[in-house]
């Protein structure tokens, strides 16, 4: 139920009286905009994540609205993310001590805003977010869908489209292992024992499906596990396998993008997990692409500020704003020998889910 449509169907079935009272449907940020301006609105990127939106044609889907038993009248007006939806209501302006002429931009969904904040706005440009969940986000000038439905095809905050692979547990896997299993908050010390000579040679695998998995398996029954342990397995091996398992999971989505003919050789990277030099190195070599870090760590917030600047006319376009405002601090390139070691390990990793898929529902 990560999308809006299933929630509406649940309400219609389990809370029919509340369902009948639906007057307006909006997402959290859109409710804030509604309170500020009185305008019932959303942007195309967030609308894409409702399952009520015809992404290719950039309009509400009459078919999906009919399935959910709602009319288009309750749906918000659609705006580009960088469009001004209105100005502050008089009472809001007075309460905040601001002018009624303050403009409010439509804004964007979290991953779309993060991609804007990292300057991922040109066709084929890529951003990887290593947060609680993990995403690989690829900007596209055209609408395209992979045959296995491994990737989301959404409208983008720059007026075009994007592909996105989202794994449900990324940095949260490391947090779970550190906090609940090792009972420590000293993540840096735990990673210090994973020296460079250990990379690409770990005999333990970790499947990062703590909450089931979205991309690329779309399987709520998938479960996490450690595989390959022996009497020689160490604390460092397990910690390393968690970091590697998340990287392999993101590689799965990258492979789906490659199957569409996309040639991705570089990517921006953001999120809390990206602060770990070790994890970033593992990821660069598992994916075998260069990873660049933006100057600001506040990807989504910075992206929202960029969209607001465009809405206020400070910049001619989202691309123009990103070109002038987004700066790279460092770039990590993969090591050919290490990338080759991880390529071999990934080919083993990708056999594990198919082998266990039928067992997961029994657990």
DSSP-assigned letter for residue 196 = G
Phi, psi for residue 82 in degrees, rounded to 5: -95, 10
Catalytic residues: 110
Contacts of 63 (CB under 8 A, 6+ apart): none
Distance CA 98, CA 95 (A): 8
262 neighbors 153 (Cβ within 8 angstroms): no
Structure letter (DSSP) for residue 212: B
Report strand pairing: 84-87 vs 205-207: unpaired
DSSP β-bridge partners for residue 150: none
Continuous segment of H or E residues that includes residue 43: strand 41-43
The pLDDT, as a whole number, for residue 299 is: 81
Rg (CA), the chain: 22
Residues of the chain with pLDDT under 50: none
The burial of 231, by beta-carbon neighbours within 10 Å (0-12 exposed, 13-18 middle, 19 or more buried), is given as exposed
Distance CA 190, CA 289 (A): 26
Residue with tokens 């690989």: 136
pLDDT tens digits, 145-187:
888 888 999 999 878 899 999 999 999 999 999 999 999 999 9
**pLDDT for the residue 56:** 94
Q: Is 250 exposed, middle or buried (0-12, 13-18, 19+ CB in 10 A)?
A: buried
What's 120-145 look like in SS3?
CCCCCCEEEEECCCEEEEEEECCCCC
Give CA–CA dist 249/78, Å, rounded.
34
The structure's pTM equals 0.89
What are the chain's domains? 4-105 (3.30.420.40), 118-297+328-363 (3.30.420.40)
Say if residue 9 is exposed, middle or buried (CB neighbours under 10 Å; 0-12, 13-18, 19+): middle
């Amino acid at each position: 139920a990560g999308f809006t449509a299933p929630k509406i169907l649940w309400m219609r079935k389990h809370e029919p009286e509340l369902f009948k009272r639906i007057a307006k449907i909006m997402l959290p940020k859109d409710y804030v905009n509604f309170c500020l301006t009185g305008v019932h609105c959303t942007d195309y990127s967030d609308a894409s994540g409702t399952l009520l939106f015809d992404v290719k044609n950039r309009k509400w889907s009459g078919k999906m609205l009919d399935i959910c038993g709602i009319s288009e009248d309750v749906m918000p007006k659609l705006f580009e993310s960088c469009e001004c939806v209105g100005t502050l209501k008089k009472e809001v302006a007075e309460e905040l001590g601001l002018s009624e002429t303050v403009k409010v931009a439509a804004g964007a969904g979290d991953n779309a805003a993060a991609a804007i904040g990292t300057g991922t706005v040109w066709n084929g440009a890529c951003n990887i977010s290593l947060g609680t969940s993990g995403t690989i986000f690829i900007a596209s000038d055209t609408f395209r869908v992979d045959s296995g439905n491994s990737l989301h095809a959404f409208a983008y905050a720059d007026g075009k489209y994007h592909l996105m692979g989202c794994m449900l547990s990324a940095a949260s896997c490391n947090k779970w292992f550190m906090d609940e299993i090792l009972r420590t908050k000293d993540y840096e010390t735990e990673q210090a024992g994973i020296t460079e000579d250990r990379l690409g040679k770990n005999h333990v695998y970790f499947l990062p499906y703590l909450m089931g998995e979205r991309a690329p398996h779309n399987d709520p029954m998938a479960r996490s596990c450690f595989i390959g342990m022996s009497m020689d397995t160490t604390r460092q091996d397990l910690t390393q396998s968690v970091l590697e398992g998340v990287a392999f999971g993101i590689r799965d989505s990258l492979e789906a993008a490659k199957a569409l003919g996309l040639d991705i050789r570089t990517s921006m990277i953001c999120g809390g997990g990206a602060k770990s030099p070790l994890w970033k190195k593992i990821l660069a070599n598992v994916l075998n692409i260069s990873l660049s870090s933006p100057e600001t760590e506040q990807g989504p917030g910075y992206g929202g500020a960029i969209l607001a600047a465009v809405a206020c006319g400070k910049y001619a376009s989202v691309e123009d704003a990103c070109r002038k405002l987004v700066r790279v601090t460092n770039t990590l390139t993969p090591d050919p020998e290490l990338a080759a070691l991880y390529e071999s390990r990934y080919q083993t990793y990708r056999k594990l889910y198919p082998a266990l898929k039928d067992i997961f529902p029994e657990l």
